[in-house]
Each structure stands twice: as structure tokens, then as C-alpha cells.
Amino acid sequence: MKTVELSIMVVYLLFLIVIGIYSQRRISQSQTGIEDYYVAGRKIGTGVNSLAMLAALGSGGSFMAGAGTIWNLGFPFLAWMCAGSIVGFTVASVLVAKPLRNSQKFTVSEFLNDRYGGLFFKIAVPIVIIIGSAMYLMSQMTAGGLIASYVTGLSYEWGLVIIVLVFIFYVSLGGMLAVTWTNILQGAMMVFLISSVVIAGIVNLPIDWSSFFVNATNENPALGVVGATLPVAAYIGAFVTWATAVCVTPHLVMRIFTATNARSAKLSLNISMLLFGILMIGV
């Protein structure tokens, strides 16, 4: 058990619970309670929403598995993924943000059903979203369970239970308002901590940066070679996957509904894309 890390984790989880309780009280006293619960009252400004989107994007997969993916699959694979992500953010900003925000709806399924109608959309869209979200949530819960297990010394299963219970508690109680506040906290922590680690490493570690990548590729020759570990089709697939997925991922799209207006939603997407790209370089 790591005392300092455990103390930080306990304080953080307690803070999430407090945010959930506080948000629930705010919602219960508001005249727009339903809107506050589902879309944070549609009052989230550009700067705050950018941090919240950054936190939604900066998942366990990004920060825990990102470095390992680059090492195993190489920088070219990362480049194709990033290029696809840029296209996805652009599509979300140009084509998705305005109609979603101006629809005044609460969910994507509600938006599509209102726009196209029919039994198919009413049934199929929620099913697709639930399946996709479940796959995404599983990876996040796995990362949370691993971290909790490492910090507390408990088994992975118990670490997972702790994380899931806290997550369910504050999200169920405070809705999108609680999620927004926690995302702001997480986004600010990501920017500060990763920037601090990178700056400290550059200043204090005796690294010859001119030969850094040369040494890395000598250690792992596949790191900078296209097709060394994967066929070219896999790189194209990574580009297409991220280009089409980023613009419709539920955790990103739901933040569009919370923006004060369509322009703010577009700006938030662009700013969060830049911040996320910078942080991933740090990772």
C-alpha cells in the first residue's frame, strides 16, 4: 500500500462524491432541473467546455495505453491515428455541432428520432449507443481498477468495484452537471500534471534530445518504420476509424448539448483538439 498515493486517491474520490451531492442539490432547487441534469442547463462556456472535452478524451486508454501502443505499433501508426482524429474533430465542428446544439434535444437518439422518425431509429439508435458506450466504459473501468489496485494493494476486482461504485453514485445523483464539474477538475489536473512532468523531465534529466529518437529506434527498430508490425491497410483503417469515430463518440457529442450556443460548441471542439494533441505528445 502506498500511503501518499492512497491519500490522494481517497481525497479525490471523496471530492467526486461531494460534487455529486452538491450538483443534486443544485438541480433539485432549480426551475430547469431536467435540463440541468441531462445537459448541465446548456450554460457551459467555451473555456470550461474545452477542459471538460479534454477530460472526456483523455481517457485511461489515452494515458495508460497510449505509450504502449506507440512502442508496439510505431510512430507511423500514431501519425495515422492523429490525422484521422483531426479529420474527425473537423467534421464534428463543421457538420455535427451546429445541428445538435440548435436542436434543443437532450440525447443523440432523441435528435435522430425527431429528425427522421420511424420505429427503426427509435429502437436501433439507443441499442447502438448502449453497445458502443459499454465497450468504451469497460476500458475506462479497467484502467480505474488497475490504478486503484496498484495504489491500495487490493485485488483488481476490489479496485474495480470501488471505482464503479463512486462513478455510479456521482453520475446518477448529479447527472451531466456533476460530470461537467468533475471533467473540469480532471482536465485542469491533466494540463497541470502532465505539463509539470514534461518540463521537469526536460530540465532535470540528462537526455541528449538530438539522439533521443535515434536511440529509441535502435532499441525498437519497428518504432519508426511503416509496415514493420502491421500491413499498410491497418494504417488506413486506423485513419478511417478515428476520422469517423471521433465526431460521433457519445462522451464528446454529449458535451455539444451542454454548450451555451453552436459557436461555443465549435470552438470548444477545436480548442480541446489542440490541447489533447499537445498532451498526447507529452504522454
Question: Which SS3 state, helix, strand or coil, does residue 281 take?
Answer: helix
Convert the pLDDT of each residue in 24-72 to its tens digit.
999 988 888 888 999 888 989 998 998 888 888 777 667 777 777 777 8
Q: Are 176 and 254 in contact (CB under 8 A)?
A: yes
Domain ranges of the chain: 3-187+223-282
Q: Is 48 exposed, middle or buried (0-12, 13-18, 19+ CB in 10 A)?
A: buried
pLDDT digit string (tens) for 138-185? 878 888 888 888 888 888 899 889 999 999 999 999 999 999 999 888
Q: State how far the Cα of 60 lies from the Cα of 66, in Å rounded to an integer.
A: 9
